Structure 1
Amino acid sequence: MKIRPILCLLSLLSLCIWDTRAGILDTSIKNEYNWRRSDSTFALIKNGEIVWQLNFNKDQDKPYFHPLRVNGKDLTMERPADHGHHRGLWFAWRDINKINYWEEIHGRGVSEGRSKIIKVDIKPEKNFSVKVNIRMEYAPEGKKTILKENRVLLISAPDQQGNYTIDWSLNFTAQDSLLVFDCVPTLKRGGFAYGGYAGLGYRGANSLNDPVFRDSNGWANKKDLTGYGENANWMDMTAYFGAQKSSKGGITIFDHPKNPHHPSPWYIWYAAGQHVFFMPAILYNQPLNLEAHKRLVLKYRTYIHSGDVEDKSLNKIFEKFKN
């Protein structure tokens, strides 16, 4: 009787257990990390706590990351009372052909312009990195699709310090008509001080204390700020976790050199103790046109890190990313 092969098979099966009551798949390995999946989420778990979670509820459109954590500390906020459409770390257009895809209809959790999730394909690796393919379609409410997207997310395994990266490749294809991507105009464009936002946004947790925003040009800021608009290869936000100020962490967003309008203008919305928000603002200075059946590719890297990170280290990450 061949007992050893049977025991090996049982051991392998024990690594993948589907809990039909919870709807969660736990693929556990004898390690501090494991995966957790439901019908609308996928998360990396460390010692029972979420490191990061990707959310993709089709009823709410717009996939997003929340929570994002480093060494157990929260970096993101989901749907705060002041801006219920802010979702941790997420991508959303503002206007496409004058239809709003950013702000949401009160009480519905979706926008006038729908950013529909069609299919999500997740390929986790044994080293706890993962590749995610998301197929999306954009359309005004109740009307035909005007834009399709194939989104590829590459999420690295955390290193020994708990740092990890999320690489974004956003591949858009216009359908049967010219598309004009725009945003609320800035003061320079005859608009508003708060204008200029659209694209890959980050909303920080309220527990973040004394954040410092800095960019690849050596600029740094601790004061309240709305707008900004200067161009840079990357922007970082590093803050203390909580009032105790015993530890720090942050997030850096890198703009790829092949993106339109690179180096990107950057948008910041910060008020001490209330709002921590920034993004590469591709439409800050001018709209972007995409002709029918043409493609637009945007690439970004987000680096979630513990502690302070020197500019030279962030520049090295940028050099690797752009190549």
Structure 2
Amino acid sequence: MILVAGVMAATAAIGAEGVALTDAGGKVRVEIGGELFTEYNYKDVARPYLYPIIGPGGVGMTRDWPMKENANDVQDHIHHKGLWYAHGKVNTVDCWSEQKAFGKTLHEKFLEISSGAKQGVIRSLNKWVSADGKPLCSDERTIRFYPHSDVRIIDFEITFIASEGDLTLGDTKEGSMSIRLPTSMSVKAKGKVAEGHIINSKGNRDVDAWGKRAEWVDYYGPVNGKAVAVAMMDHPSNPRHPTYWHVRDYGLFSANPYGIHDFTAKTEQKQPAGAGDLKVAAGKKVTFRYRFLFHTGDEKEGKVAEHYKKYAATKAAK
């Protein structure tokens, strides 16, 4: 494995199925077996994100717009870019949208960029700031990329650091660990072809999966004629596991442990505003871990439940 700290490039001749990372300045290119898997975009953006993500069969697993024009895409929610982490209420600041007076997540530095035969790693330090640049908190994130012949896996670990004083990750549905899927994978879409479906570990399907708690959710549908899917998994070590899911029928797919008031508003378990606030005392930390499994077919063909059991048994990497 080649380990490169800071902003130096990392490349390696690591075999046909290894993972090679290269920092090209503004984005880190991730290749598996010599072919593009994804890119981590971190410069001149509202917040870092992965795009494109190339799944099984060589098809794109995220919506192209607004990074790239695609006539098949619904053009809404400009802040839904690839795969990203954001939240709509960080000490009351909106760090989810990209409208006037929104907060940002600024890349500060890389702590690790490494390539290898079994995995590639990006580890970085980021600062969350308000619209006027006031620091709110920091995060240290580790993203791991794994090579497999039949699936692709991304592990995303984020540690919030209350570096600027007491931190509140507020109760709102607008967040948090997210991916925006191709429009054709959506359950429905205005004026576009959409033939996708949603199912979670509890058996809730399509629109009924929104706001529910579950260990994992699988979102599957066609892309360029190929049946593909994305499963997102909530690690059992996460606060409030199993998490709530802000998973929409139009292709937004988010794990959100904070939005309890919004998610329970129309249920018998209705909670008051602020019930989902997660408070982190000054100088303390809180960590969340997620896995993305890119596979073919539906949740049964993709053996999502089996993959989840393996993921649930993993411990945080040192």
TM-score by length of 1: 0.75
Contact 1:49–1:72 (8 Å) recurs in 2: no
Structure 1 residues 85, 30: CA separation in 2 closer, same or farther (over 3 Å shift)? Answer: same
Give the superposition deviation at 1:143: 4.4
Choose which of 174, 192, 195 in structure 1 pairs with 2:162. 174
TM-score (norm 2): 0.77
Is structure 2 residue 15 aligned with structure 1 residue 40? no
Is 1:147 matched with 2:137? yes
- Structure 1 residue 212, shift from structure 2 partner: 1.1
Counterparts of 1:150 and 1:31 in 2: how far apart (Å)?
Answer: 31
The gaps in structure 1 that reach 5 residues or longer are: 1-23, 185-195
What's the counterpart of residue 90 of structure 1? 84
Match of 2:199 among 193, 214, 219: 214
Whole-angstrom CA distance in 1 between matches of 2:291 and 2:82: 15
CA contact (8 A) 2:218 2:230 kept: yes
Question: What is the CA distance between 1:278 and its match in structure 2?
Answer: 1.4
In the alignment, which of 112, 122, 125 is matched to residue 115 of structure 2? Answer: 125
Supply the distance in 2 between the matched residues of 1:173 and 1:25 (Cα, whole angstroms).
27
Residue correspondence of structure 1 range 173-322 to structure 2 within 5 A:
173-184=161-172, 196-208=173-185, 209-221=194-206, 225=207, 228-242=210-224, 245=225, 247-270=226-249, 275-285=250-260, 286-310=276-300, 313-322=303-312
- 1:102 match: 96
Residue 93 of structure 1 deviates from its aligned partner by 1.4
Extract unaligned runs of 5+ from structure 2.
Answer: 1-8, 67-74, 186-193, 261-275, 314-318
More strand by share: 1
Structure with bigger gyration radius: 1
Q: CA RMSD in A?
A: 2.7
Give the aligned length: 273
Whether the 8 Å contact between 1:226 and 1:267 is mirrored in structure 2 is: no
Give how far 1:176 is off.
Answer: 4.2
Give secondary structure in 2 for the equivalent of 1:320.
Answer: helix
- What is the distance in 2 between the residues matched to 1:30 and 1:300? 27
* 1-structure distance, mates of 2:234, 2:306: 14
Percent identity reads: 21
What is the CA-CA distance between 1:213 and the residue it aligns to? Answer: 0.5
- 1:50 partnered with 2:27: no
